[in-house]
Amino acid sequence: MQKVVIRHYRRDDRPFVRNIAWNTAFLGDSAGVFFDNKEILSDFLTLYFTDYEPESSFVAEIDGRVIGYLIGARNIDVLNRIFFVRILPRLVTKAVVRGVFFSKKNILFMTNALRSFLKGEFRVPYFLKYYPALLHINIEKKFRALGIGALLIEAYLNYLNKAGIEGLHLATVSDVAVGFFKKQGFNLLYKHKRSLLGNILGKEYFCYLYGKKILTQSKPEEASCNDKET
């Protein structure tokens, strides 16, 4: 394998991160399966990380080309506050101006999202006392299973440890990703059914919430998990 360089995110990485986010948003494949506006969805997925907390993100590059990323936040409460107060209103306005809500594909996705929300499928227990940090990680398809994801996580864990962050969490709906995160030392905190993409997958699926403690000198009591892993 060619030499992989793991480094902090830079401003000129922004278009590459957004492109990878779009190309991997549906269980590792393109978001075009369920949404048809790349700019709006890329904003939704990456804007906080690239524009408000870029220092907490890392990229992997080969021969000077970004082929993967880990975008992170030190505190999910801060992320949520900025997202809902500053990012989401502008994003909705932008979507209206660009006619995003007139696409049949987008209407179906947003209808399913609303239905999923009303069913309580986005509610999760509050684990953030011990797992305040967050990560999202994606790698171009042809560069997966080469150990690059593990290198990105290692760099992020070192960064969080130096910052005194006690733990981090992530969410995934990919059974393949579950196996990867277990190997990286993440533990299942919670799992629950989702139906948001059920019309495409043809079935309900699980969303998994995984967490990992970082500061070895701190040993808080494990959070309880209502749903047992199967």
pLDDT in tens, 104-121: 999 999 999 998 889 888
Q: Residue 143 region, left (φ>0) first, then alpha (ψ -120 to 50), else beta? A: alpha
Does 224 score more than 60 pLDDT? Answer: no
Helix axes 14-24, 38-51, angle to 10 degrees: 130
Pick one of 3.10.20.600, 3.40.630.30, 3.30.70.890, 3.40.50.300 as the CATH number of 4-125+135-164: 3.40.630.30
Q: Domains of the chain: which residue ranges?
A: 4-125+135-164
How confident is the model at residue 1, as a pLDDT?
Answer: 62
| Alpha-carbon span 167 to 131, nearest angstrom | 4
**DSSP calls for 85-129:** IIIHHHHHHHHHHTTGGG-HHHHHHHHHHHHHHHTTTT-----TT
How confident is the model at residue 216, as a pLDDT?
Answer: 56
Q: What percent of the chain has pLDDT over 70?
A: 93
Range with the poorest average pLDDT among 46-50, 163-167, 197-201, 223-227: 223-227
Summarize the confidence of residues 166-192 as an average pLDDT: 94
How confident is the model at residue 143, as a pLDDT?
Answer: 95
**pTM of the model as a whole:** 0.88
User: Tell me: the pLDDT tens digits for 10-28?
Assistant: 999 999 999 999 999 998 8
User: Tell me: the pLDDT tens digits for 32-67?
Assistant: 999 999 999 999 999 999 999 999 999 999 999 999
User: Tell me: the pLDDT tens digits for 81-100?
Assistant: 999 999 999 999 999 999 99
How confident is the model at residue 199, as a pLDDT?
Answer: 83
| Distant-in-sequence, close-in-space partners of 92: CB < 8 Å, separation ≥ 6 | none
| Alpha-carbon span 154 to 184, nearest angstrom | 9
Q: For residue 187, give the 3-state DSSP assignment.
A: strand
User: What residues pair up with 139 in beta bridges, in sequence order?
Assistant: 68
| Residue 124: pLDDT band with limits 50, 70, 90 | confident
Mean pLDDT over the full length of the chain: 90
Summarize the confidence of residues 116-137 as an average pLDDT: 90
| Residue 218: pLDDT band with limits 50, 70, 90 | very low
| Residue 228: pLDDT band with limits 50, 70, 90 | very low
